[in-house]
Structure 1
């Protein structure tokens, strides 16, 4: 009997509450909601790291960053480590990766010969390479977001060869409307939507579905959209679907940042490009911004554009589901949708992501449908990206991998109500060692410590303050609670500020 297929869909920088199915009153994500309605929605799903590459490596390997070695952007994942895609390939699956993978540094030097580096794509004939790569038989890469996407990768090569006139349309000065002066990454893209990378990714994935559904072997497909990661620059009509003046205002409690570790008093420059050029002085990961100097209008536009990017992804997901249906394999395919990490989007007076492990960054959407999963399943258990490899292997009948996670199939089947009492997260900084932090999360509390800066700490009562706006760490009356959770961290995730893996690039 032929095994079920898998489509693993990943968005970049999409927080848990970005979808209609997870309570967003502005979104109209009917296609992602359709996956949820036909299967399971995980309402307390977290990543153990709020930065792109570490989180993506965890999704693939089921390991904490301290164990898979990709502890920060700018470090490469070891191709010899077992991962989900290797496991599928070994089990006879045809495997394909389309879009943003981010397993290697963008700024790795040319001599490392890394396909996800800019230097690799400066070589003649680089566009002829399509894999194999990290267990994928073949890949079609998109590297970077918005105007960064035209610098390297298969999409950039395709665009240059077939639609060279579109290259310049990715730049903000081609925008049909004004470019926000107080946040230089907010504009309306002039790129035709059918030639945008979100559409190109869907096109390549659909080509694979149409071909592979006729073959004898099952398939595993990773579809990874670079959006809604900043810059906030969707094309028409998506940039105009959500009026900025109707966007919900970010949630900020007066004085909340004054109770947080002192580094949150600083931030990146909103007028500076949120990337690091080769040779540039390092800036902290995530390019965290305070919104004090950003106008309400610009911030509302960034939020509206984020919803527009999510809507474009949802439309692409609808096309993928239609392709599965049209090929007659929808009922034989597990469809998973998630994100690598979240986005602050103005909450707490902050934008983008960075060292603080706020819920807006660590909690992400997860919906999963497929054979044997009861429609409308709603799960409130604490789950993690650590669990995805083991769970997918279990659903597909593959050998159980050795991971830091847990097989969630008994939870999905309703045989158990929970899989853990605590989730753990860990952030390794790029620039300032004092920002290294570790978190433990239960259904009631989130506690964070900074081992290199013991005076700093974060403690949130998630029952009274679910979106973490009032740090209780300074309260003497709760010191016993902080000590108890600190002990849990000591026992389960002892401090490991230094990870042995070579830094090859800043991003």
Structure 2
């Protein structure tokens, strides 16, 4: 069915919304549990928040910012599986993007967050991207646990127009070849579905759990690139807004001396003028695509306020992974353990959350599900143990610290893509060796499948420019971190949440080498 044939159902939905609003006060008297709304982007970096003033106002002025938030597996499908289960990939089993090792077909959606929340009376709503491979087989299926479902189906997920949504079991295509009106832009369509769900929640005795997963700033699929010459398309009203923006060049951009890096990293050619031009165009389009997301976030916050629900709603904003544009000489990509790839924005506001505060405790996306379980009063009883932990105690007391380290892991393929796509948009499977890593605010230790290693002292080298894995002074540190990596690589449940079994030694005992000092020792002493 096309959009044009949906005018009558939309009118009916408006009538239902008006009726629902009339019963708002009585409904909320029945259930005082909070709403939880998760807003997720795709491939957004921490620095990309600079393009989103409304989002910064909504969250930073009224909530907390997590300064050290990372994802356990820096690529979309495994990362999203960790969000929905609170488990590391070696436990939830989604170890890649597609079969046989990954993709939606590998995900056990009977043992996941929406099922747990629905079990205790939440109305669960998902909008937007779900997981790679969803819809390629039986696209009309609505996974268990979801009360409402407005989800992009493959192979159209990575399109801003001419995409198909599964709307509660009905497949609806928005736009077509050459039919690209602004009203059908995917971000805007998802925004409107979300606003309608929020209006109806005001009169619903059930609390709301909603996940809204935007495609932006991820690139579109190959045919779009072949036709238009671009990888990311913003809404028409935003085109050109960043036309003169310069490509950021942080420390480590175009890193030439990669002798401390693994062999595959040393093979990349220096960034030339053509690569810089391509990256600049991609950067500008990515920023412009986030403007529609920023408008959507603003509209959602305003709708929650207008319907009297804002003060009883927890809102989280995050991304499934970061993205690299020139850092360490990598022209584009993710998957790597370095900060531009593994760090993501994480913002939180809601009842009892202090305003304008920064949390420096390291957190991971495996912590999202247990946090939501705490807020909702639900549990994952009957399923696999949860690896993550709630971060609410750190949100409420931002100066609080712990000694836990978090795990990064990749797998399922011998390697994955780090090169620019070709003209068809085909993604080559090559270049990035799979690895496992542990990190906290002080250390990042990586072991690759090849046996190569990296060790970064993040207090003295926050941009990961000088691996210390060959530095004899760091040998005791490396041994302790390797033991922690071995422990976390096979952990399940409570052991994943504990701190290291032995102290991680600092060869300089907290002192800084003058030639490498870049920032002060962070935060208050950590509790063990």
Contact 1:253 1:469 in 2 (8 A): no
1:18 aligns with one of 48, 51, 72: 48
1:370 maps to 2:380 = no
1:436 maps to 2:450 = no
Change (3 A) 1:67 1:36: same
User: Where does residue 450 of structure 2 map in the other structure?
Assistant: 453
Give the deviation of 1:476 after TM superposition.
4.3
Give the deviation of 1:314 after TM superposition.
0.9
Deviates most, 46-55 or 400-409: 400-409
1:90-109 equivalent positions in 2, closer than 5 A? 90-102=119-131, 105-106=132-133
What is the CA–CA distance in structure 2 between the aligned matches of 1:257 and 1:440, rounded to whole Å? 21
Q: How many residues align?
A: 423
Task: List alignment gaps of at least 5 residues for structure 2.
Answer: 1-30, 220-230, 417-431, 493-528
1:192-213: CA deviations, max 9, x gaps?
4332101011011111111221
What is the CA–CA distance in structure 1 between the aligned matches of 2:211 and 2:327, rounded to whole Å? 31
Partner SS state of residue 242, structure 1 = coil
1:423-461: CA deviations, max 9, x gaps?
1110115244992211111211211012x322x111222
2:165 aligns with one of 146, 149, 153: 153
Contact 1:344 1:361 in 2 (8 A): yes
Contact 1:142 1:149 in 2 (8 A): no
What is the CA–CA distance in structure 1 between the aligned matches of 2:414 and 2:489, rounded to whole Å? 22
Deviates most, 252-261 or 65-74: 252-261
Give the deviation of 1:3 after TM superposition.
1.1
Partner SS state of residue 453, structure 1 = coil
Contact 1:209 1:324 in 2 (8 A): yes
Change (3 A) 1:374 1:245: closer
2:217 aligns with one of 210, 228, 232: 228
1:202-228: CA deviations, max 9, x gaps?
011111111221111111111000111
What is the CA–CA distance in structure 2 between the aligned matches of 1:158 and 1:83, rounded to whole Å? 26
1:61-210 equivalent positions in 2, closer than 5 A? 61-74=85-98, 75=102, 76-79=105-108, 81-102=110-131, 105-106=132-133, 116-121=134-139, 126=140, 131=142, 133-143=143-153, 146-147=158-159, 150=162, 152-154=164-166, 158-160=172-174, 163-164=175-176, 167-168=177-178, 191-210=180-199
What is the CA–CA distance in structure 1 between the aligned matches of 2:491 and 2:310, rounded to whole Å? 45
Deviates most, 256-265 or 67-76: 256-265
Q: From the CA coordinates, give the structure whose radius of gyration is larger.
A: 2
Contact 1:244 1:303 in 2 (8 A): no
Task: Output the aligned Cα RMSD.
Answer: 2.8
Partner SS state of residue 252, structure 1 = coil
1:60 maps to 2:84 = yes
User: Where does residue 112 of structure 1 map in the other structure?
Assistant: none
1:91-137: CA deviations, max 9, x gaps?
111111000011xx42xxxxxxxxx233434xxxx4xx6x3x24111
Contact 1:62 1:389 in 2 (8 A): yes
What is the CA–CA distance in structure 2 between the aligned matches of 1:203 and 1:147, rounded to whole Å? 18
Give the deviation of 1:43 after TM superposition.
0.8
Contact 1:57 1:77 in 2 (8 A): no
User: Where does residue 270 of structure 1 map in the other structure?
Assistant: none
What is the CA–CA distance in structure 2 between the aligned matches of 1:70 and 1:371, rounded to whole Å? 34
Change (3 A) 1:148 1:197: closer
1:410 aligns with one of 393, 401, 404: 393
- Greater relative contact order, per chain length (Cα 8 Å cut-off, separation 6+): 1
Give the deviation of 1:326 after TM superposition.
1.7
Change (3 A) 1:469 1:415: closer
Contact 1:98 1:201 in 2 (8 A): yes
2:341 aligns with one of 361, 384, 394: 361
Contact 1:446 1:462 in 2 (8 A): yes
Change (3 A) 1:28 1:51: closer
What is the CA–CA distance in structure 2 between the aligned matches of 1:292 and 1:463, rounded to whole Å? 31
1:483 aligns with one of 467, 479, 486: 479
User: Where does residue 285 of structure 1 map in the other structure?
Assistant: none
Deviates most, 33-42 or 146-155: 146-155
What is the CA–CA distance in structure 1 between the aligned matches of 2:108 and 2:166, rounded to whole Å? 21
Deviates most, 253-262 or 134-143: 253-262
Change (3 A) 1:255 1:477: farther
1:424 aligns with one of 407, 413, 432: 407
1:331 aligns with one of 311, 314, 334: 311
1:214 maps to 2:228 = no
Partner SS state of residue 347, structure 1 = coil
Task: List alignment gaps of at least 5 residues for structure 1.
Answer: 21-26, 107-115, 170-190, 268-288, 497-507
1:43 aligns with one of 43, 67, 72: 67
1:241-260 equivalent positions in 2, closer than 5 A? 241-249=241-249, 251-252=252-253, 254-260=255-261
Change (3 A) 1:290 1:141: farther
What is the CA–CA distance in structure 2 between the aligned matches of 1:293 and 1:247, rounded to whole Å? 12
Change (3 A) 1:412 1:322: same
What is the CA–CA distance in structure 2 between the aligned matches of 1:358 and 1:449, rounded to whole Å? 13
User: Where does residue 467 of structure 1 map in the other structure?
Assistant: 463
User: Where does residue 264 of structure 1 map in the other structure?
Assistant: 265
Change (3 A) 1:158 1:290: farther
